[in-house]
Amino acid sequence: MAEAEGEGDVQVPISSSIPSGNDTVWFDVSSLLHRACHDLRTDELISGENFNLFAAMSALEIMDPKMDSGIVSTYYSVDEAIENGAAPIPLSFDRTSDIQHIIDIMDHFLACEATWHKGGSLAQTMFSCIYLLRPERTSSHALLHSFCIVIRATCNALVSAVSVSRTNEEEDLFTMAYGLPLKANGDEKCLSLLHAVEETLCRQLKACKAPLSKRTALEDIEPLQTNLDLEEGFCKAVLCRLRFRKHFYHVLTSLRKPQGKGLELAKKHIISCLSELDSMLKSEDFLRNNSVCGTSENEEEKTTASGCQPVGFDSTLNSRSAAPTPPRAIKLLSWNKAVNYFQKLLHDLDVISSYSLDPVFEGALRFVVDVQKIQPDLVARAHIQLLLVQDGKLYGREPLFAVICKASLLPEGAKNHDIQKNESVQQLGQLLITLFRVLCANTAWQRRKLGKILQDWRIIYVQLELAFRKEFGDAASTSVEQNSLLKICKHILIWVEEQTYWIALRFLTLGFELELYSTSEYCMVYWYIYVVLIKLAEKTHLKMMLSNDSSRRKSKKKKDFVKDIGKDYQVPPAVQLLQCYIYVAQGLMMMLASLRNENKIFLCMGPFNSEQERFVQHFELLQKACLPDHASYFSFSETVSNTRLSTLSMHNCFKDAQRIAKELRGSFANDPDRLAELRQIEQVAEHNYVALNLLCRMGNLEPSLKISFEFIHHPHFATAAVKRS
């Protein structure tokens, strides 16, 4: 292409930074571009091959309020904002109003912080504060300065916690801090600065509360502000806000102590935080009644206790410098919602801090699953993960191979075996870490990831099998060595299978929590849960028998052999619990199948595909990993095609589940969570048994009966509700 010559060409110096090469020559195409532009009308689009949907979606229409958060800001730079008096220091020469403004800033920060945690960008929330953007400016104002420093230190600590625990796309926005002054000189001294300011405030509060007679002695103390009638109220309002920051910062640093050593301390600071939040709520009336801004904002919108707009914040300031694309407009949470958010966060962190650091793998798994039930947000979830996995060890102290040995019910000595150096065994350890990470993610992402890692667990099983075989041939020379290696292999392989089915079960049950299944799909989902549970129970049982076997063999040598054989074998409670689930899942599957077969309800029908396609889509990841072998749409439809409401075994399912749940209470007497779970299962079984009997007696006769399945007793096992419509 020749260089275009046109009228009015602007001579642009050609960049020499990338030199012309053998195949490339630089041309100035500005004039060509210029002419091409004349041919295009507004809104027209030249669609190149690489102009994909993402590119189309990335285009913003400037000045469209739904898209453009406002590139044209009030100020073009932070400096300009400061020059125009947007962030004065002091905030007012009237000291009372200065304090009021500062309290507003503190409150607005809380609203910003909660919005940030909930998915807003750092630049548009915390760093919309001009004071925070220019750390050196506040140094003359001890109160504001110390507060800004602790805010910055807190942001920094949280960004670090969430980045270290990287689990998924969620944290990308959270940790994005392009060029923001997240750290400034002297931030490490934030607590001592805060402490000094707090001391002064305490003395000021004490002075104003002292009876007049004693005041002379305290006269050298300058009050916080000039209106002495309001002194106590303002002192208290500032103090609780300051103390909240201090304790919250302590909570974060305690939680990060290695090996969970700071959990006790974190709990103490959490209690203090919650109490300071209460004091903040109590100060609301005082601040509102004495506010200077007159018109108080709508309760749902206001970001400060006083209802006044804070001084020194401008969310448009960072819009040009902070992100690769212009940020969309965001809405801040209200101050009250922010307080509620922090209360919830602190309760979640308290649950995490109360954890006993169970050295047994299953215990740790159950802990994460249980914490996820209270729906913790990103910050809390990041901290669960930081606690669980540190330096590639469980809680930073239990080497993964030792954890695996214990989980596989191997004897204590196995954890020192050389097999741990094997590459596949080490990969298994990595899979464990990944599993923990995934379990700490939001449940939507967690389920997708669990589906994908199933394949990895299948592969590692095969790899381990090969590796063990090779080790067996290579190393073991004596029969004692061979036996110990064989034992380790057997145990670990069974445990890997058990774990794989556990993941499959979690994948399936999370679908209920995420509302991925429609009622017409419940039948196939419960069928799949049923077949997976059977395998899980089988593997768990096998693992336990294997360990009993070896311990019994040892005892046999010493004790009477005959006695042992005569004893009735007891199925371990963990397996019985699974058996109980199996019955409930089977009962539900059969009940739904009968309703489909007899009443023609809950059928999967559509104009474009059949139930088989739905089955394939829902379970494709399980099918791909052959979990379990031979589970297919055909085995499902065969199982359910002939079920009738009168099928006796279905009634027995719910009865048996009830019975086992009752019997198991004794086995889990010391575990309140399990007892609650048993109670739930019992209720599901009981109600479904009643519903089933009702349906049997009148189901076909009464078309007015309406049947629905609800999750009122258990999050995964539905309860049938039969109502007259």
List interacting residues with another protein (CB under 8 A). 43, 45, 47, 51-61, 64, 66-67, 118-119, 170, 325, 328, 442-445, 447-448, 452, 514-518, 520-521, 604-610, 612-614, 616-618, 620-621, 623-624
Nearest C-alpha neighbor of 106 from the set 143, 81, 134, 141: 143
Burial class (CB in 10 A: 0-12, 13-18, 19+), 621: middle
CB of 176 or CB of 675, closer to another protein: 176
Nearest distance in Å: CB 316, another protein: 18
CB of 605 or CB of 648, closer to another protein: 605
Nearest distance in Å: CB 51, another protein: 7
CB of 66 or CB of 724, closer to another protein: 66
Q: How far from 619 is each of 526, 566, 628, CA to CA, in Å?
A: 12, 45, 11
User: CA 337, CA 339: separation in Å to the nearest integer?
Assistant: 5
CB of 118 or CB of 250, closer to another protein: 118
User: CA 725, CA 719: separation in Å to the nearest integer?
Assistant: 18
Nearest distance in Å: CB 117, another protein: 12
Three-state secondary structure readout of 44-86: CCCCCCCCCHHHHHHCCCCCCCCCCCCCCCCCCCHHHHHHCCC
Q: How far from 652 is each of 581, 587, 684, CA to CA, in Å?
A: 13, 8, 14
Nearest distance in Å: CB 449, another protein: 11
Nearest distance in Å: CB 378, another protein: 10
**Placement of tokens 């729906």 in the chain:** 375
Retrieve residue 260's tokens.
């969970």
CB of 16 or CB of 58, closer to another protein: 58
Nearest distance in Å: CB 346, another protein: 22
Nearest distance in Å: CB 580, another protein: 28
Nearest distance in Å: CB 655, another protein: 33
Q: Check: CB of residue 470 under 8 Å from CB of residue 462.
A: no
Nearest distance in Å: CB 626, another protein: 12
Nearest distance in Å: CB 309, another protein: 24
Nearest distance in Å: CB 325, another protein: 5
Q: How many residues does the chain have?
A: 725
Burial class (CB in 10 A: 0-12, 13-18, 19+), 454: buried
Q: Check: CB of residue 479 under 8 Å from CB of residue 487.
A: no
User: CA 423, CA 414: separation in Å to the nearest integer?
Assistant: 17
Nearest distance in Å: CB 328, another protein: 6
CB of 459 or CB of 621, closer to another protein: 621
CB of 68 or CB of 94, closer to another protein: 68
Nearest distance in Å: CB 443, another protein: 8
User: CA 266, CA 124: separation in Å to the nearest integer?
Assistant: 29
User: CA 34, CA 6: separation in Å to the nearest integer?
Assistant: 9
CB of 231 or CB of 456, closer to another protein: 456
For residues 156-174, b (16+ Cβ closer than 10 Å) or e, as one string?
A: bbbbbbbeebebbebbebb
User: CA 163, CA 153: separation in Å to the nearest integer?
Assistant: 15
Retrieve residue 130's tokens.
């001009």
CB of 278 or CB of 620, closer to another protein: 620
Retrieve residue 389's tokens.
């996995």
Q: Check: CB of residue 632 under 8 Å from CB of residue 686.
A: no
Nearest C-alpha neighbor of 439 from the set 427, 425, 450, 429: 450
Strand ranges of the sheet holding 398-399, from the earlier edge strand across to the other edge: 389-390, 393-394, 398-399
Retrieve residue 380's tokens.
């809390």
CB of 54 or CB of 569, closer to another protein: 54
CB of 163 or CB of 623, closer to another protein: 623
Q: Check: CB of residue 161 under 8 Å from CB of residue 105.
A: no
Nearest distance in Å: CB 46, another protein: 10
DSSP 129: B
User: CA 252, CA 190: separation in Å to the nearest integer?
Assistant: 14
Nearest distance in Å: CB 633, another protein: 10
Nearest distance in Å: CB 139, another protein: 38
Nearest C-alpha neighbor of 322 from the set 434, 191, 177, 188: 177
Nearest distance in Å: CB 301, another protein: 16
Q: What's the N-to-C CA distance of the chain in angstroms?
A: 77
CB of 286 or CB of 711, closer to another protein: 711
Retrieve residue 471's tokens.
């080790």
CB of 527 or CB of 581, closer to another protein: 527
Complete DSSP assignment for 261-280: TTHHHHHHHHHHHHHHHHHH
Burial class (CB in 10 A: 0-12, 13-18, 19+), 545: middle
SS3 536: helix
SS3 153: helix
Nearest distance in Å: CB 343, another protein: 20
Residue 399: enclosing H or E segment and its boundaries? strand 398-399
Retrieve residue 312's tokens.
């020194």
CB of 80 or CB of 620, closer to another protein: 620
Nearest C-alpha neighbor of 438 from the set 374, 379, 365: 365
Nearest C-alpha neighbor of 133 from the set 186, 77, 83, 90: 77
Retrieve residue 585's tokens.
């899942």
**Helix axes of 423-440 and 479-513: crossing angle, nearest 10 degrees:** 20
CB of 265 or CB of 459, closer to another protein: 459
Retrieve residue 276's tokens.
């300071």
CB of 61 or CB of 391, closer to another protein: 61
CB of 190 or CB of 333, closer to another protein: 333
CB of 43 or CB of 219, closer to another protein: 43
